[in-house]
Amino acid sequence: MVHDARRAPRFRLVALIGNPNSGKTTLFNALTGLRQRVGNYPGVTVERKEGRLRMPEGPEATLLDLPGTYSLTPGSPDEQIATDILLGTARHTPPPDIVICVVDASHLERNLFLVSQIIDHRIPTVIALNMVDIAERSGIRIDVRSLARELGVPVIPTVASRSEGIRELIAALSDLRGANAPPNGWRLPAPVERETDELAGILEDVHHIAPAHARHEAMTLLTAESALLDRMDRFSPEVIAHVRRDHAKLDFLGFDRRSVFVESRYAWIKSVCMQSVARNPAAGMSLSDRIDAVVTHRVWGVVIFLALMAIVFQAMFSWAQLPMDMIREGFDWLGARTASAMPPGDLRDLIVHGGIAGVAAVVAFLPQILFLFLFLGLLEDTGYMARAAFIMGRVMSRVGLHGKSFIPLLGSFACAIPGIMATRTIDNPRDRLATMLVAPLMSCSARLPVYALMIAAVIPPLKILGFLSLPGLTMLSMYLLGLVMALLMAWIFKKTLLRGGPPSFIIELPPYTIPSLRSTLMLMWERAWLFLKRAGTIILGASILLWFLASYPKLEGGTPSEKLNHSFVGMAGRFVEPAIRPLGFDWRIGIGLITSLVQREVFVSTMATIYDVGSGESSGAGGLPERLRESKNPATGAGSFTPLTGICIMVYYVLAMQCFSTVAVMRRETNGWKWPLFQVAYMTALAYGVTFIVFRIGTAIAGGGV
Ligand code: GDP
Ligand code: MG
């Protein structure tokens, strides 16, 4: 039978693949028009889009819009699906007969990473060099013919959003016959090449893996221990032993297996770009690029980042002062009015000292929380947050975390609960767990009241160098302590419990934009509401309960201090005092630690209650910070809240878990009690240990006189 090549259905399934935001969906729409169907891939919430692609000759083909991916070394479920389909390992979808790889011409280097992996697999490919309009506008000129020659595949320039190049693309598809020519491939360093080749050969022979895939598999196995561990059950013990020997050999030769493959690939990509890309640097730099040249600079980027953060914390302190004072005065007035309107007795005490005082102590910190989220909202809206993620990504990868971990950790500055929930975007389970374990070390807004109270009580409002305030710097130090400890613990976890390969690290940098006041205000409102809801419910309840525990059993006729001593709360505080004395804490602080196990900010209302109910030593005038400052330990006559005590309390709160809600969320997210309990244990130990050291050093420096 004569086979007519021109008539035969050469391919049925065409897949669009490319980096996220390269224009795949836009191109898909341009290619299929309205002939498309949207569904889900089985078992996951990843969208599946397919449509009909009319070819100039022969029958229609099916066009599949694959999820965006940066590489064929998948991190996320999306990338896994794209990779599985492309490599023909997906059960639900046959391998495509041909792929259109959509490349964002304005980010050619980054996009070529995926291209080079696809070429390695010898999958029949046509490149849609998309967004050439943007590239041209920013001064990037790509020599399409040279690029096609270097890559060994057809390259068709397109502007998908204006349907330009679509006809040429379809023509290139129908012209394509069989696999693409072997490209001017990239080279590994000779010894690495040798081992890779040998291992690929073994994989072909022993496990019958196709040559093109075998090489990819060999590189993956050689890259990281975790890849080997993930594949233990797929390969024979001999092959695994061989891989281990290769690891040892390459390590001995001094190759960093984690980076050598990626770096060699990028070296090749760079040389391809040198051949094919001309830049017009003057016209080329958009405003965003010019800003980014500074803002994402290795040194200046970090300096700018730290400076911005310093400004945020400074401003939170000075600007928030006035509204905080007003709120405090408002509640004082309310308390006084209530007291004078009601007959004296337990109910009045309960409402004034338990209810109003407790809520006031927390609500007074609302201005600072609003300011924090004003800044976070503005940073997010301007596009700076992505730069911050990029800058921190370098640090993150140094401690073995993904750049994506930065956002959940940053979110944890507000509250660990949304932070932990945001780790769902991290796909490697070990990276995700490491991020969740350290997220509560970031100073959340619930710590703010504690820091603010302690700073107001014991840190004098001195200026350093004339413009930095000591309270502001103290606050910043607490945030930094949490951050540094989080990174340190992540590093330790990734080295021990959660060993695994290095995370890939690519972050989109959106162009800078003028922030929208509306969305920032909405964010502030949302956070304020969340905070108030907690203040209004749990903390009010805790405050009332605490008032009760601090007032009963009643001691008739004693001094207020004796009465407190006699109460349930006093008993509990004295019970834990021996354990916390090495940290410089007395039993009243112990009471605060106990009551704030549920929520950290309860410490503040506890102190308010304790020092309202129990302290006859203070003159009665002034706010809570003044009372703490003036309070004396009845036994020794020394001040209960020295600057060192205040700092130790803050350090303890930076590191201790003290949050039931976080434990509950961890249990839900990890599906068990193991990790949340581990987290509580390690954080408590860390808090105790570090606070102990700080107290020792502080005592030694001050000779006991602080
Ligand atoms: P996907 O994530 O790869 O599916 O990317 P989309 O198709 O969603 O495109 C991302 C954005 O780029 C959309 O706003 C498109 O309108 C835009 N876009 C796509 N192709 C082009 C192009 O060739 N030129 C320009 N200027 N914009 C494009
Ligand atoms: Mg899309």
> 295 alpha carbon to ligand 2 midpoint, in Å?
29
Residues 477-536 have pLDDT tens digits of: 999 999 999 999 999 998 888 876 555 545 566 667 777 777 778 777 877 776 676 656
Sign of CA dihedral 254, 257, 261, 266: negative
Q: Residue 244 carries which side chain, given as an amino acid letter?
A: R
Q: Is there an atom of ligand 1 within 6 Å of 26 CB?
A: yes
Flag whether pLDDT at 2 surpasses 80: no
Residues 287-311 have pLDDT tens digits of: 777 888 888 887 888 889 888 877 7
The pLDDT-based confidence of 672 (bands split at 50, 70, 90) is confident
Question: Of all atoms in ligand 1, which is nearest to the CA of residue 65?
Answer: 4
Is the distance from CB of 442 to CB of 485 less than 8 angstroms? Answer: no
Pocket test for ligand 1, best of 21, 114, 162, 166 (most atoms within 8 A of CB): 21
The pLDDT-based confidence of 651 (bands split at 50, 70, 90) is very high
Question: Of all atoms in ligand 1, which is nearest to the CA of residue 159?
Answer: 23
Strands of the sheet with 125-130, listed across from one edge: 36-40, 47-53, 61-65, 13-18, 98-104, 125-130, 155-157
Which residue's alpha carbon is nearest to atom 17 within ligand 1? 23
> 104 alpha carbon to ligand 1 midpoint, in Å?
9
Is the distance from CB of 166 to CB of 202 less than 8 angstroms? Answer: no
Of all residues in the chain, what percent carry a pLDDT higher than 70? 85
Flag whether pLDDT at 282 surpasses 60: no
CA distance 172 to 198: 36
Task: Give Cα 701 distance to the centre of its chain.
Answer: 37
Residue 290 confidence (pLDDT) = 80
CA distance 10 to 74: 29
Residue 502 confidence (pLDDT) = 55
Pocket test for ligand 1, best of 28, 129, 161, 164 (most atoms within 8 A of CB): 161
Residue 180 confidence (pLDDT) = 62
The mean pLDDT of the chain is 82
The pLDDT-based confidence of 3 (bands split at 50, 70, 90) is very low
Q: Is there an atom of ligand 1 within 6 Å of 133 CB?
A: yes
Residue with tokens 């598999």: 217
Flag whether pLDDT at 617 surpasses 50: no
Residues 221-262 have pLDDT tens digits of: 888 777 778 777 888 888 888 899 999 888 888 888 878 888
The pLDDT-based confidence of 685 (bands split at 50, 70, 90) is very high
The pLDDT-based confidence of 592 (bands split at 50, 70, 90) is confident
Q: Is there an atom of ligand 1 within 6 Å of 220 CB?
A: no
Nearest to 40 by CA among 76, 74, 67: 67
Number of H helices, E strands in the chain: 34, 11
The pLDDT-based confidence of 455 (bands split at 50, 70, 90) is very high
- Structure token digits, residue 674: 């193991």
Flag whether pLDDT at 277 surpasses 80: yes
Which residue's alpha carbon is nearest to atom 13 within ligand 1? 23
Mean pLDDT of 148-163: 91
Flag whether pLDDT at 14 surpasses 60: yes
Mean pLDDT of 316-329: 79
Please state the CATH superfamily assignment of the domain spanning residues 13-175 in this structure.
P-loop containing nucleotide triphosphate hydrolases (3.40.50.300)
Helix (H) / strand (E) element for 104: namely strand 98-104
For helices 429-438 and 660-670, the axis angle rounded to 10 degrees is 170
The pLDDT-based confidence of 43 (bands split at 50, 70, 90) is low
Flag whether pLDDT at 616 surpasses 60: no
CA distance 34 to 20: 22
The pLDDT-based confidence of 597 (bands split at 50, 70, 90) is confident
CA distance 194 to 201: 11
> 637 alpha carbon to ligand 2 midpoint, in Å?
70
In degrees, rounded to 5, the angle at the alpha carbon of residue 140 between the alpha carbons of residues 134 and 143 is 110
Residues 420-435 have pLDDT tens digits of: 876 766 667 788 899 9
Is the distance from CB of 129 to CB of 158 less than 8 angstroms? Answer: yes
CA distance 203 to 215: 9
> 20 alpha carbon to ligand 1 midpoint, in Å?
9
Q: Is there an atom of ligand 1 within 6 Å of 165 CB?
A: no
Tell me how far CA of residue 313 lies from CA of 50, 390, 517, in angstroms: 50, 21, 21
Q: Is there an atom of ligand 1 within 6 Å of 218 CB?
A: no
Flag whether pLDDT at 211 surpasses 50: yes
Of all residues in the chain, what percent carry a pLDDT higher than 90? 23
Residue 620 confidence (pLDDT) = 45
